[in-house]
Structure formats: C-alpha cells, structure tokens
Structure 1
Amino acid sequence: MDQMNRSNLSPYRSFTRDEWAALREGEPMVLGVDEIDRLRSLNDRLSMEEVEAIYLPLSRLLAMYVAATQQLFKATRRFLGSNGSKVPFVIGVAGSVAVGKSTTSRVLQALLSRWPNTPKVDLITTDGFLLPNAVLESEGLMNRKGFPESYDVKALLTFLSDVKAGHEHVEAPIYSHLTYDVKSGETVSVDRPDILIVEGLNVLQARQPSPSEADRAVPFVSDFFDFSVYIDAAEDTLRTWYIRRFMRLRETAFTDPQSYFHRYSKLKDDEAIATATHIWNGINLPNLRTNVRPTRARADLVLTKGEDHMIERVDLRKV
C-alpha cells in the first residue's frame, strides 16, 4: 500500500507546526508573559510563541465545538419540551507522567475562559480519585500507583455523571503532591461550569467489565468527554524529562520535611539519577506501555512533542 493510501486510511488529519499555527486566523493573544510563566509546570517549557502557535488555534477550535454543542443541546431541549440544566462541555487530557498534561490543561483553561460563550472553565485532575495510601498499602498496590487499579473508578464515574447531569456543587476529592496522598475530607466543588477539563493518566482507557457487569452497559470515563487530547513524546524523551523533574524536586519540594519523598532530598546526584531511573523503569514505563499509550488512538487530538518540549505535530481526528 503506498503512502497516499495509508494516509487516507488514517482516522486523523495531520498538521505540521506551521500548518496548525496558521489556523489561528488572527485570533488575538489574551495571555501575558507573567501569566504564561505561572501556568507552566516544574521543568516544563512554555513560551509565548508556543501558546500562539499551538494553543490559540486549539482554543479557537474548541470554542467552535462548544458553541455547536450548546446549540445542539438547545435543539434537543426544544424537541423534548424540557427545561434541563446547562450541560458542561467536558474535555479530557491524557498522556504520560512528565509529558506536560498539567501545563496544557491550565493553558486551555486560561484561554477558553476568555471566549464569550465559555466564561466559566473548571479543571480537575484524576489524582484526587486515587485510592488513599492506606488502602493501596493494604492491597499491595503502592508500587502500582497511577495504574488503573489504583483509582476509585466508581467515584470518578459518579462525579462525571453528576457533572454531565447539570447538578450543582459536585464535589471532587483533592490530592496532595506534598504528602503523596488524597487529602482526607477536603474537596473542590464543580458548580455547572461551561467547560470542565479533566486531566489524568488513564482518562481515555476502556476498562474490561467485571463478570457482574457483563450484562449491563458500563460507562468508561471517556464516555463523558465531548473532546479529548493526548499529549505524546518518545519514551526516551519522557524518561529524560522525568529524571530532570525528579532532580528539580529533590532541590525544591522534597526538601520540605512533610514531603513523602523527603528522604530523596539527601541523595547525591548519581544516587538521585539512579533512583529516578529505577522508578521510571519499574513503574512509569510499564504503565505507559500497558495502559497509557494504548489509549492514544482514542483521542480526538494528539499533540506530539519533541525533545525541547515544543509541539512538532498535531493530529486531529477526522469528522
């Protein structure tokens, strides 16, 4: 099969960086340098040029999708003769550890909140739906943290179902990266936003139903998404970024005596690199290969990064 036929069979339309940037269509820049600096995660790189070339066109596309969905909702409500509550547009953001999911999510939140039809944009991470450390330890899952079985999937599905039903003040648990655990009794409220961004490792995964669920329609987390983004990079690049982040954390967050990883702040450089490499090879890489990367093909949009954290290619699912 020649290259043209293979391209035609792909469910995606691919864009180079310059081709995608041209789709900005003159949309004005609404974020300043200081705000971009605040949105950037530790060890991630985010420039004004990156926001203009990649995220402004994406926010323009998403604003169009949201507007079309809002009109569809109004049409359906007229057809049914109902006065149902506003239904948020839900965006899922997936990808490996250290790939920059948090930065992408915060940038999209900042940009989308500037559009007139979506002034209220909320963001939650699925880290809050991880099982508490005490539960993970009792079930022998501490070394599987971040794997699908380490999440309270039922609670996450209930949360998304309530949000999509237009309920007020839907509570989501909060996770502390300092203590490496869910904050007991602490929640964040999601109150009928125009857009909800859900960021997490495995948000696009289609789980295998249990025997008791075989005869029932069991939803996946991604069933509640109106649009999904997967952020991709080569394995070697991701490992390098993870080690660099670990080394930065060793000098910053890990120095806090309350940090779960405080013991790592005392490591010498070679010991820290060896430790980070061991964690990557033993936990993050297997999870990436088995659970995270296989979900890439389910995304509506794939952003592929190069070694410098710059997005080199954009793949948009054909409609």
Structure 2
Amino acid sequence: GAPGAGKSTLAGDLAARLGALAVVMPMDGYHLDNAVLEARGLRARKGAPETFDVAGMVRDLERLRADEPEVLVPVFDRGLDLSRAAARVIGPQARIVLVEGNYLLLDRAPWEGLASFWDLTVMVSTPEPVLRARLVQRWLVQDHDLGAAEARAEGNDLRNARIVAAESRTADVAMSGL
C-alpha cells in the first residue's frame, strides 16, 4: 500500500498477535543513505522506488528462504531519518516473516523480482484525503512547519502513493479503510 496507508501498523499488530512465530521485515530499512541520495540527486525523492536497495533486500529474502539460522535486517529510524543496519534479528523461531512496504507488488524492474518470495500478498488501500492528512501529520511530528509538511506530503509521498496505485500487481487480499 501507499505511504501512510497503515501497513506498518497492520504488520506490527499481526506480528504481536502471532507472538514469537512472526517477525516484521520492513522494506523501509532498505532506504539508500542520505549521502548516496544526495550524490545521485534523489534526496528530495527519498521514498520513491529508485531510492531503495532492492538487491540488498533480495539477498536477505534469499537468506531467509535458505533457512539460515539468523538473518540480520536493517530497520528505518524515522526520528533519525536513516536506516540502521542489522537492527532486527530474524531467528529460527520466526516461521512467519511479514514483509511490509510500499513497492512489494510493484510491476517494474527491479521490484517485480520480489514476487517469487511472497506466499500471500495483501494490498492496504486508503483514500487519498486520509493519506494526505496522515502524511502531513507524520511530517509535523518530525518538526516540519505546516507548509513544509504539506509540501513534503504532496511533492513526494502522494506521488509515491499514486505510483503504488497505478503500477502494483493485484494482491491476493485487498483491505481498505485502515
């Protein structure tokens, strides 16, 4: 689903209900570092499909599929605006890995290569006015003033939401209204 749709909340709640059997693997951990984004002229588009290390995510998914006893995955720290390497341990007790993120169903290179990893897919859909309000609030919490928060939401996040809506494969399960 789109940024602000409720994916992280849903995945976290589901993992909590499933207990030690489940762990969340967030796509956001694979954000490129801000210095790399700056060098590539992509800093203003952070969060767009081209601003992630998809190959790194594929390597970690392959390791999980190979049943390695422990796979360390990165986690995005929104407060610091950066990914923390090896911040989450996925150990042998985790039989269910809930991978969540915007572009997991995106039907374009290199994202389409992820499809073979999914046993079940869920698309979380939220109306754009609700997304806009959530995204503006997300930026306000990060100490942006209202004008800057609205500009970030409209200029980047909602652009990314429209990419998700237009270019994602059909999910096994569609959810709305989160």
Q: Same fold (TM over 0.5)?
A: yes
Higher relative contact order (CA 8 A, sep 6+): 2
Name the structure 1 match of 2:135.
242
- In 2, the alpha carbon distance for the partners of 1:157 and 1:174 equals 15
Q: What TM-score, normalized by structure 1, do the two folds share?
A: 0.52
Mapping 1:1-319, distance limit 5 Å: 95-113=1-19, 119-183=20-84, 185-192=85-92, 193-208=94-109, 220-247=113-140, 249=141, 254=142, 262=143, 264=144, 272-290=145-163, 292-305=164-177, 309=178
- In 2, the alpha carbon distance for the partners of 1:239 and 1:128 equals 23
User: Structure 2: which 5+ runs fail to align?
Assistant: none
- In 2, the alpha carbon distance for the partners of 1:135 and 1:237 equals 32
Contact 2:125–2:175 (CA under 8 A) maintained in structure 1: yes
Q: Please report how far the alpha carbon of residue 135 of structure 1 lies from its aligned counterpart in structure 2 after TM superposition.
A: 0.6
- In 2, the alpha carbon distance for the partners of 1:230 and 1:177 equals 23
User: Which 4+ runs in 1 deviate beyond 6 A?
Assistant: none
- In 2, the alpha carbon distance for the partners of 1:219 and 1:273 equals 36
User: Structure 1: which 5+ runs fail to align?
Assistant: 1-94, 114-118, 210-217, 255-261, 265-271, 310-319
Q: Deviations over 1:35-68 (max 9, x none)?
A: xxxxxxxxxxxxxxxxxxxxxxxxxxxxxxxxxx
Q: Please report how far the alpha carbon of residue 303 of structure 1 lies from its aligned counterpart in structure 2 after TM superposition.
A: 0.8
Greater radius of gyration (CA): 1
Q: What TM-score, normalized by structure 2, do the two folds share?
A: 0.89
Counting matched residue pairs gives 177
SS in structure 2 of the partner of residue 302 of structure 1: strand
- In 2, the alpha carbon distance for the partners of 1:207 and 1:296 equals 9
- In 2, the alpha carbon distance for the partners of 1:137 and 1:175 equals 18
- In 2, the alpha carbon distance for the partners of 1:301 and 1:152 equals 26
Contact 1:101–1:199 (CA under 8 A) maintained in structure 2: yes
- In 1, the alpha carbon distance for the partners of 2:166 and 2:69 equals 34
Q: Deviations over 1:241-293 (max 9, x none)?
A: 2223333x1xxxx4xxxxxxx5x3xxxxxxx3322221111101111112x11
Contact 2:105–2:169 (CA under 8 A) maintained in structure 1: no
Identity %: 29
- In 1, the alpha carbon distance for the partners of 2:24 and 2:107 equals 22
